[in-house]
Amino acid sequence: MVRQFHIARPRPDATPSLLRLVFHDCFVQGCDASVLLDSAEAEGVQSEKDTQPNETLKGFELIELIKTEIEHECPETVSCTDILVLAAREAVVLSGGSFYPLHTGRRDSSISFPEIALFELPNPHDGIIKSLFSFASRGFNEGEIRSFG
């Protein structure tokens, strides 16, 4: 169903936007869709989505459209987390990248982690040592980090 959505509504910016969105979600407390949660301004609660490292993220509206369509077909069945990772994977495949298997059944977080997003997401202006440490703290080795470049 996610693939059909991409085919029916092709967007040239979908692949990089969704990959970056997944990265920003998964780097902070694991893949839990917490990056999709909105701030609760009335309660003074900021979300990950509204922190400085995430200000330029795109793809939220695309995930919302896919979620709406899936909810229409199978209500309360597929998590936002699964929709996010599946949408990114399908965008990669449809843009000529390799298919990779994904396990589904992830649970969505009901809380956001703005402090972790603010201080632990890698900064593109960080030096190599800080970047290596940041990724190593999440289990990446030097070879895997090099593959990002």
Annotated binding-site members for Ca(2+): 25, 28, 30, 32, 34, 48
Q: Which of 24, 50, 47 lies closest to 122, judged by CA?
A: 24
Annotated binding-site ranges for substrate: 122
Length of the chain counted residue by residue = 149
Spot the catalytic one: 6, 24, 72, 125.
24
Q: Which residues pair with 128 in a beta bridge?
A: none
Establish whether 6 is a catalytic residue: no
| Residue-wise burial string across 12-38, b where 16 or more C-beta atoms lie within 10 A, e elsewhere | eebbebbbbbbbbbbbbbebbbbbbbe
* Alpha carbons 8 and 20: distance in angstroms, whole number: 22
Annotated binding site: 25, 28, 30, 32, 34, 48, 122
Active site residues: 24
